[in-house]
Amino acid sequence: MKVDRRTASALILLGSCTLVLGGCTRATPAPANLSSLSQVLFGTFEHPSDRLLGQLLVDLEQVGVGEGLEDEAFAIEALDDSLVSDLSGPDRDLGLAPGVGAFTESGFSVPDHTAYMTLADLLPVAGSAETYDRTFVQDSDPDCFIAGDCQYLRTSNHIVREGFGFSFEYTYFKDYRWVMPSTSDEPMIVGRGWSEESVHGEAGQNHIWQWYDLDVWMHQEEGTLRYISIWSEAEYAGLTDALTESMLISAIHDSFAIYESYLEGQGG
């Protein structure tokens, strides 16, 4: 097995989390309404009016700013068929893909965050990926989206990712849209991602059977409240469900830090 810098770090983390406090980070029960808000935001991403999504974002913001939730991860209920009916995805039971969600606070404005959404090469913010090439599809114009003149940005992404001894190559779709909530003059952004097919590792032992995610950027007086929810059914050789969940939680929190570092490097 090739052990590069990323894999070595991951193996150290895996070993340490079995020793510290008896185990790795686990998702805790979600605050009231967080699961339903995450599900409905995902399922209504294409709703033609900002009014519904805007209210959902206001409600989500109220949950996120409540009690210092940015340091935790929460168990989110699985999606159902009605919430993914407009997407092509693997023929899998959605109930096998429970979600985890987490908040964080960013010191940058919502528009600042479009800087990495519109990259054609996402390696600067891609964590363990060896390749992360983004193509803008359906006539999406990155500059138009950054300016706020185009509501949607739609992307197809070719990714090669390695870690914990596995190697995956796959296509992942990610769409973004601006939303103007009725309670504010400051726009917010919702992102929705998914894989159309199950992903299998080179050795045939590791599998991402299904993957859906929700990203939200909510305006705050001094920056942005971020939220990510991921619904995933994955199988990694030698890893328990608890360790797999812990990996996912770590990936969410790592991505928050990577995005923030990137914006700091760009001067915001």
User: 96-122: per-residue pLDDT in tens?
Assistant: 999 999 999 999 999 999 999 999 999
Q: How confident is the model at residue 67 (pLDDT cuts 50, 70, 90)?
A: low
Q: Given this model, what pLDDT does residue 23 score? A: 52
Both structure tokens of 186: 């400051």
Q: Given this model, what pLDDT does residue 104 score? A: 92
**Sign of the CA dihedral 251, 256, 261, 263?**
positive
The CATH number of residue 176's host domain is 3.30.530.20
The residue range of the domain holding 118 is 5-17+27-72+97-265
* Domain-embedded: residue 105: yes
Q: Given this model, what pLDDT does residue 28 score? A: 87
For strand 199-200 and strand 207-220, is the pairing parallel, antiparallel, or unpaired? antiparallel
* Domain-embedded: residue 195: yes
* Domain-embedded: residue 160: yes
Q: Given this model, what pLDDT does residue 166 score? A: 72
Q: How confident is the model at residue 202 (pLDDT cuts 50, 70, 90)?
A: confident
Q: How confident is the model at residue 15 (pLDDT cuts 50, 70, 90)?
A: very low
Q: Which residue matches tokens 């039971």? A: 93
Q: Given this model, what pLDDT does residue 6 score? A: 40
Q: CA 146 to CA 123: how far, in whole Å?
A: 20
* Domain-embedded: residue 85: no
Q: How many domains does the chain have?
A: 1
Q: What is the pLDDT of residues 156-179, one digit of tens each?
A: 999 998 866 678 899 999 999 999
Q: How confident is the model at residue 68 (pLDDT cuts 50, 70, 90)?
A: low
Mean of pLDDT values over 137-149: 97
Q: CA 41 to CA 184: how far, in whole Å?
A: 18
* Domain-embedded: residue 86: no
Mean of pLDDT values over 135-141: 97
Q: Strands, DSSP E only, in the chain?
A: 28-29, 74-76, 99-106, 129-136, 152-163, 166-179, 188-194, 199-200, 207-220, 223-235
* Domain-embedded: residue 88: no
Q: Which residue matches tokens 């300016």? A: 147
* Domain-embedded: residue 50: yes
Instruction: Please give the mean pLDDT across all residues of the chain.
Output: 87
* Domain-embedded: residue 235: yes
pTM of the model: 0.89
Q: Given this model, what pLDDT does residue 184 score? A: 81
